[in-house]
Chains A and B, each alone.
Chain A
Amino acid sequence: MNKLTAALMEELNVEMIQIGGLQIPESVVVSWGIMAFLVVCSILLTRNLRVDHISKRQAMLETVYNFGSSFFEGLLGKEGKGYVPYLMTVALYIGCCNLIGVFGIKPPTKDLNVTAALALMSIILIEYAGIHARGGVGFLKSLAAPTPVMTPMNILEIAIRPTSLCMRLFGNVLGAFVIMELIKMVVPVFVPAVFSLYFDLFDGLIQTYVFVFLTSLFMKESIGGEE
């Protein structure tokens, strides 16, 4: 039992990598790698964009962008058009984070700090969207809607929503990681690949979708609850 606890504890702790004179957590280094990958992809994929006679690469890029953009605009409405780039960026980042487990690297979202930071950004954006769309007084009044009895619940929700977002993403990624490690300890040959298909690919993508969808849903509720 203690060996299992020790193994779990070791998986849960964030390893530090020595770079120069600093101790940098492993999740930060992997995040840098993902950032570099996404930036390089963005630069390479958007070279030589044209208006007419577009290449196949540009057509595919436009299809993907339109798909994401129409999806979020359907959720957020016209006022939410400005938030779409942020949401799509977060979706790409979390997607890459969850999928990097397929390559044997520890996903950064396994670190509670990463998911907490993402949830914090989401809640700041949600509250800012509410204040921006309704004004300061309108935002305070929205805390008392639909009835003033709900006010403590509404105030609590400002804290509960990012917590649930953070814990859901963290729990799913950690659970998948722990189960994959256990499977690899028991049957190292072929079975991990099959399970990895479910845990890393399917579950990772679904969690990405749920995180971004919930953020945009809360944003929509914060912006245009009454109109």
Chain B
Amino acid sequence: MNGLVALGAGIAALTGIGGGIGIGIATGKATEAISRQPEASGKIQTNLLLGAALAEGTAIFGFVVALLIILFLG
């Protein structure tokens, strides 16, 4: 039973991939935007931080699910 629980928790933690890719793409576009218009860098930075925190939220949900699987099923 322990093996399946570990497998389930590992699969749940794979949501980090989506978060990482999403934040990476967003940061790339943000740096591109700043390079095009350096005066707007403050607003761009604010939006980037907000978007990164939201995307990280979904990755954190995966972490919480993995934790719950380990705690309540293992």
Contacts and interface: CB of A to CB of B under 8 A. Distances in A.
Contact of A210 (B6, B53, B61, B64): B53
Nearest to B60: A171
A180 to B, nearest CB: 15
A207 B61 CA distance: 14
For chain A, the bracket of interface size reads 20 to 34
B67 A207 contact: no
Contacts of B70: 5, 8
A175 B71 contact: no
A209 to B, nearest CB: 8
Contacts of B53: 168, 206-207, 209-210
A157 B2 CA distance: 36
A139 interface: no
A183 interface: no
Contact of B63 (A12, A171, A206, A214): A171
A210 B54 CA distance: 8
B18 interface: no
A46 interface: no
Contacts of A174: 64, 67
A1 interface: yes
Interface in B49-73: 49-50, 53-54, 56-57, 60-61, 63-64, 67, 70-71
For chain B, the bracket of interface size reads 10 to 19
Contacts of A30: none
A1 B74 contact: yes
B50 A213 contact: yes
A172 interface: yes
A90 interface: no
Contacts, number: 45
B63 A175 contact: yes
Contacts of B54: 210, 214
A170 interface: yes
A167 interface: yes
Contacts of B63: 171, 175
B12 to A, nearest CB: 12
Nearest to A213: B50
24 contacts: A1-B6, A5-B71, A5-B74, A8-B71, A9-B71, A12-B67, A167-B57, A167-B61, A167-B64, A168-B60, A168-B61, A170-B64, A171-B57, A171-B61, A171-B64, A172-B56, A174-B64, A174-B67, A175-B60, A175-B63, A209-B49, A210-B50, A210-B54, A210-B57
Interface of B: 2, 6, 49-50, 53-54, 56-57, 60-61, 63-64, 67, 70-71, 74
Interface of A: 1, 5, 8-9, 12, 164, 167-168, 170-172, 174-175, 178, 206-207, 209-210, 213-214
Given A167-B57, A178-B67, A209-B49, 18 more contacts: A5-B70, A5-B74, A8-B67, A8-B71, A12-B67, A168-B61, A170-B64, A172-B56, A172-B60, A175-B60, A175-B63, A206-B53, A207-B53, A210-B50, A210-B53, A210-B54, A210-B57, A213-B50
